[in-house]
Amino acid sequence: MIIKTKNEILASEITDPSIFKERRKIIKALFATLVSSSVISPNRVLAANNNSVWNNLSKGDFSNNKLTPTPAELIKNYTNYYEFSFNKKDSTELAQHLKIDPWSIEVTGEIEKPGTFYLEDILRQQVLQEFIYRFRCVEAWSMVVPWVGFSLGNLLKTFKPLSSAYFVKFTSVHQPEIMPKQQNNAMLEWPYVESLRIDEAMHPLSIFAVGMYGNTLPKQNGAPLRLVVPWKYGFKSIKAIVKIEFLKRPPISSWSKSAPGEYGFYANVNPEVPHPRWSQNSERQLGSGLFTPRRQTELFNGYGEQVASMYSNMDLRHFF
């Protein structure tokens, strides 16, 4: 427990020191590095929880060990889940009612092997890894999450997509008896849908997450299965997926349908393209202390090296 507390102090302090080159912070970061390397290794801290379901997972290709994960308690208590409530606190509580066992996923569209699959059967075929990724919300806050999951591309390939499959559409669970906003048809058209271009979906950065911090995913964070596409705004990373469709034409995702001028199909993190009503130039990192400046948002959330080539011929202002 004491070890964990130490880690929490670190989390707020080694917040990407290269961005803000204040002397004070660099000293703190150096100090933090010293402490973490001599006393506790990050791995040990992550596995410190005895109840961990998955220990010592290998790291995904683009998992970044240099990032300090945001404390789990903060991640668990700061979620948007509009099916339950428009308020983060209430949605966390109400999400506990979600029924996730058993869970199956329907796979249809332009593929050779359509069908419905139980999640546990899917998991048996996949290699779980840990992915420490940045997560940037369109509301201008961000965190670093140690997801447990598997490559989305690897899964999609098992369904044998046809050459006519240009887009992949994901659909969230529809449980109106449990989800108050679905019952009232409030805000968005339910169930929630999101979509990726096939090359985005096949990209090695894209994962399906089933856990975080070595444990199964909390319900409010998208249990039992959610998408994680770290170079896009958080709303693309759809939760509680029940359906995957391979399509010829681009489907319209939920937020684009509700406000097409504000939320585009791509939703790539881009500090140069403000949302019509607020800037996307900077972000508040959860876990950073009072009087800590915001983090400068990076193009593609810092994953430009991996993903920029997919958008090389596109005007990112137009395709926002």
Partner 1 sequence: MALRLNNLRSSIFFICLIPFLWLLVDIVFDNLGSNPIQAIHIRLGDWSLRFLCLTLTITPIQIIANWRGMSAYRQMLGLYTFFYASLHIMTYIIVDQFFVWHVIGIDIIESPYIWFGLLAYIIVFLLAITTPKSAKKRMGKNWKKLHRFIYLAAIGAVVHYFWQLKGNLADPLFYLIIVTLLLAFRFLVWVKNRKFNKMMIPTRKKALVLPVRQIEASEAIVEQRE
**What residues line the site for partner 1 (CB under 8 A)?**
73-75, 77-78, 82, 86-89, 138-139, 141, 187-188, 258-259, 274, 276-282, 284, 286-287, 290-294, 296
* Residue with Cβ nearer partner 1 (296 or 309): 296
* Residue with Cβ nearer partner 1 (88 or 174): 88
d(CA 191, CA 119): 19
d(CA 90, CA 96): 10
Work out how close the CB of 187 gets to partner 1 at its nearest, in angstroms, rounded to a whole number: 5
Work out how close the CB of 318 gets to partner 1 at its nearest, in angstroms, rounded to a whole number: 18
* Residue with Cβ nearer partner 1 (159 or 190): 190
Work out how close the CB of 290 gets to partner 1 at its nearest, in angstroms, rounded to a whole number: 5
d(CA 145, CA 6): 18
Of the candidates 305, 310, 299, 308, the one whose C-alpha atom is nearest the C-alpha of residue 272 is 299
Percent helix, strand, coil in the chain (nearest 5)? 30, 25, 50
Work out how close the CB of 140 gets to partner 1 at its nearest, in angstroms, rounded to a whole number: 9
* Residue with Cβ nearer partner 1 (125 or 296): 296
The region, left, alpha or beta by phi > 0 then psi within -120 to 50, assigned to residue 119 is alpha
Given a contact cutoff of 8 angstroms between Cβ atoms, the answer to whether 69 and 47 are in contact is no
Of the candidates 52, 34, 49, 72, the one whose C-alpha atom is nearest the C-alpha of residue 3 is 49
Work out how close the CB of 12 gets to partner 1 at its nearest, in angstroms, rounded to a whole number: 11
